[in-house]
């Protein structure tokens, strides 16, 4: 059996967007699931719009998602000679020809066809002119006749009439640069690509590409066209629906594993299973599971998948990540401290940004803690302050701030005073964190440590009373 080779050929638009990332993931998984190879190719024939930074942005996105490639990144801009060789071959074999029609002439032909109730097309007038190369002349490919049929990996059997779908399309522009359909076929054939999974916006290109494969005598790969991703309003996903770049999601504190799991479910399924490890995906991924109905990008769902991954992740894997997001807040701590903090937030954080923001109080200097006005008003009224002063005195007598010791001391105090625990807990919580919510009080005190806890209670007690 021939080796499976898939590819991801983004046009460098400046970032790896959600749709592109899903396409990359499907192709990567298909290759990995079949012990095959995966090619990364940057389709930068439009030189004006392409820069090395854009290529880097795509590479960064791929790296973040953990989608490694076996070949590339190739740049189409390095491969012009190969495209020209193929164009020459097509001219020699009578499949392509030079055309000197002006764009006004071509527009007029289209208009005429339209007026006659026909499909607007180039009228093939240069086919028989036998023109040679010349300034500004394009090269056109002779549209074949007959049926273009293939068994799409996603949509099943498809057949289209070549004459309906394709006119004598341009394969080389007047300025000498190759057109997308020519370059993509030459590259895919040259790189031995066997399976092409891409968005269904490329469906209408397929007859052109298949005609080129036939004319060049290259073996036909398999094609699979996946439905587009929609926003919650059923419109094609765009910036209006939120961040498009996958690296924006990195910045927002999503885990790459969660992103991969979420993306794969946008168009692929395996029974009812929602959560897949990467290993499982590599084992289970197949074309059969690709859906032919469109999927919807839903940030709430992605967030809940992320929360799940945060909960299930190992503390060691989250420590460096938390450090990375704390840095954005100008905070740092050693790994041992972070390893104490992470488990307090794993059950509740939906993103790493949220975790960093919520745990920031642990790492700030005591003087940096700002007391939330609402929390102070509600929880540090005069009576509560009196209680807080007593608790502060009590906690000063607890030698070691372990959860067990703190629980014992505070529990006994609450019982003696016949107070509900919340009555004591809230003033203490506001005093040490500045806010009215935090993880469990004993854990929080224990991780914060005795000195900081007492110091912060003193600061709270010194707050002006209104």
Among 6, 10, 267, 359, binds ligand GLU (CB under 6 A): 10
Site string for ligand GLU, 309-338 (x = CB under 6 A): ------------------------------
Least gap, CB of 14 to ligand GLU (angstroms) = 12
Residue 43 binds ligand GLU, judged by CB under 6 A:
yes
* Spatial separation of the C-alpha atoms in residues 184 and 245, rounded to whole Å: 24
Q: Are 302 and 262 in contact (CB under 8 A)?
A: yes
327 marked as part of a ligand binding site: no
* Spatial separation of the C-alpha atoms in residues 119 and 106, rounded to whole Å: 13
Nearer to ligand GLU, 184 or 246 (CB): 184
Nearer to ligand GLU, 121 or 198 (CB): 198
Least gap, CB of 132 to ligand GLU (angstroms) = 31
Nearer to ligand GLU, 45 or 438 (CB): 45
Nearer to ligand GLU, 17 or 32 (CB): 17
194-233 residues near ligand GLU, rule: CB under 6 A = 198, 202
Q: Is 239 a catalytic residue?
A: yes
In the DSSP assignment, the letter for residue 244 is -
Least gap, CB of 59 to ligand GLU (angstroms) = 15
Nearer to ligand GLU, 236 or 324 (CB): 236
Least gap, CB of 12 to ligand GLU (angstroms) = 9
**Count of residues in contact with ligand GLU, rule CB under 6 A:** 7
Query: What kind and span of H or E run contains 106?
Result: helix 103-115
* Spatial separation of the C-alpha atoms in residues 158 and 200, rounded to whole Å: 13
With contacts defined by CB under 6 A, name the span among 9-17, 118-126, 226-234, 429-437 that binds ligand GLU. 9-17
Residue 267 binds ligand GLU, judged by CB under 6 A:
no
Nearer to ligand GLU, 138 or 184 (CB): 184
The closest alpha carbon to 355, from 244, 245, 452, 252, belongs to: 252
Residue 177 binds ligand GLU, judged by CB under 6 A:
no
CA 150, distance to chain mean position in Å, is 30
Residue 354 binds ligand GLU, judged by CB under 6 A:
no
Tokens describing residue 57? 């942005």
Counted residue by residue, the chain has a size of 466
| Given the residues 121, 239, 378, 452, the one annotated as active site | 239
Beta strands per DSSP E along 3-146: 5-8, 37-42, 71-75, 96-99, 138-141
Beta strands per DSSP E along 228-307: 229-230, 295-296
Residue 11 binds ligand GLU, judged by CB under 6 A:
yes
Beta strands per DSSP E along 155-261: 156-161, 170-172, 195-199, 222-226, 229-230
Residue 9 binds ligand GLU, judged by CB under 6 A:
yes
With contacts defined by CB under 6 A, name the span among 6-14, 91-99, 140-148, 221-229 that binds ligand GLU. 6-14
Q: Which residue has tokens 């989608």?
A: 67
Residue 184 binds ligand GLU, judged by CB under 6 A:
yes
* Spatial separation of the C-alpha atoms in residues 383 and 375, rounded to whole Å: 15
The closest alpha carbon to 421, from 455, 429, 458, 389, belongs to: 429
* Spatial separation of the C-alpha atoms in residues 268 and 286, rounded to whole Å: 9
Least gap, CB of 228 to ligand GLU (angstroms) = 12
Least gap, CB of 202 to ligand GLU (angstroms) = 5
Nearer to ligand GLU, 59 or 284 (CB): 59
Tokens describing residue 100? 């000197």
Q: What is the CA radius of gyration of the chain?
A: 31
Residue 173 binds ligand GLU, judged by CB under 6 A:
no
Phi, psi of 290 (to 5 degrees): -80, 125
Phi-psi region of 151 (alpha: psi -120 to 50; beta: other; left: phi over 0): beta
Integer distance in angstroms from the first to the last C-alpha of the chain?
81
Annotated binding-site ranges for ATP:
239
Annotated binding-site ranges:
239
Which residues form the catalytic set? Answer: 239
For ligand GLU, the binding residues (CB under 6 A) are 9-11, 43, 184, 198, 202
């Amino acid at each position: 059996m021939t080796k499976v080779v898939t590819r991801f050929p983004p046009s460098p638009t400046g970032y790896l967007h959600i749709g592109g990332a899903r396409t990359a993931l499907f192709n990567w998984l298909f290759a990995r699931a079949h012990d095959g190879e995966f090619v990364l190719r940057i389709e930068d024939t439009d030189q004006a719009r392409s820069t090395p930074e854009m290529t880097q942005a795509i590479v960064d996105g791929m790296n973040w998602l953990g989608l490694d490639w076996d070949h590339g990144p190739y740049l189409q801009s390095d491969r012009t000679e190969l495209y020209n060789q193929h164009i020459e071959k097509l001219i020699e074999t009578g499949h392509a020809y030079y055309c000197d029609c002006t764009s006004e002439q071509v527009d007029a032909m289209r208009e005429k066809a339209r007026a006659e109730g026909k499909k607007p097309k180039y009228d093939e007038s240069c086919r028989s002119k036998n023109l040679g190369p010349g300034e500004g002349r394009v090269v056109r490919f002779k549209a074949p006749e007959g049926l273009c049929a293939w068994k799409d990996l996603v949509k099943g059997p498809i057949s289209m009439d070549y004459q309906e779908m394709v006119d004598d399309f341009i394969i080389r522009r007047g300025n000498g640069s190759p057109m997308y359909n020519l370059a993509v076929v030459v590259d895919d054939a040259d790189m031995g690509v066997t399976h092409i999974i891409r968005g269904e916006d490329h469906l209408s290109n397929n007859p052109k590409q298949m005609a080129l494969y036939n004319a060049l005598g290259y073996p036909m790969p398999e094609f699979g066209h996946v439905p587009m991703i929609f926003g919650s309003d059923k419109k094609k996903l765009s910036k209006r629906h939120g961040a498009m770049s996958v690296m924006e999601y990195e910045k927002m504190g999503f885990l790459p594993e969660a992103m991969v799991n979420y993306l794969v479910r946008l168009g692929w399924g395996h029974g009812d299973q929602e959560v897949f490890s990467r290993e499982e995906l590599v084992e289970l991924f197949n074309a059969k599971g690709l859906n032919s109905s469109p999927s919807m990008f839903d940030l709430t769902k992605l967030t809940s998948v992320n929360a799940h991954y945060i909960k299930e992740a190992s503390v060691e894997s989250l420590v460096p990540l938390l450090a990375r997001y704390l840095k954005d807040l100008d905070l740092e701590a050693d790994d041992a401290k972070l390893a104490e903090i992470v488990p307090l937030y794993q059950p509740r954080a939906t993103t790493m940004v949220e975790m960093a923001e919520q745990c920031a109080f642990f790492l700030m200097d005591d003087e940096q803690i700002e007391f939330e006005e609402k929390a102070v008003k509600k929880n540090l009224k005069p009576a509560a302050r009196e209680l807080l002063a007593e608790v502060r005195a009590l906690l000063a007598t607890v030698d070691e701030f372990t959860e067990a010791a703190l629980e014992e001391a505070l529990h006994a105090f609450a019982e003696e005073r016949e107070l509900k625990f919340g009555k004591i807990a809230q003033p203490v919580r506001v005093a040490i964190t500045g806010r009215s919510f935090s993880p469990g009080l004993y854990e929080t005190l224990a991780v914060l440590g005795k000195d900081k806890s007492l110091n912060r209670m003193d600061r709270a007690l010194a707050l002006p009373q209104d």
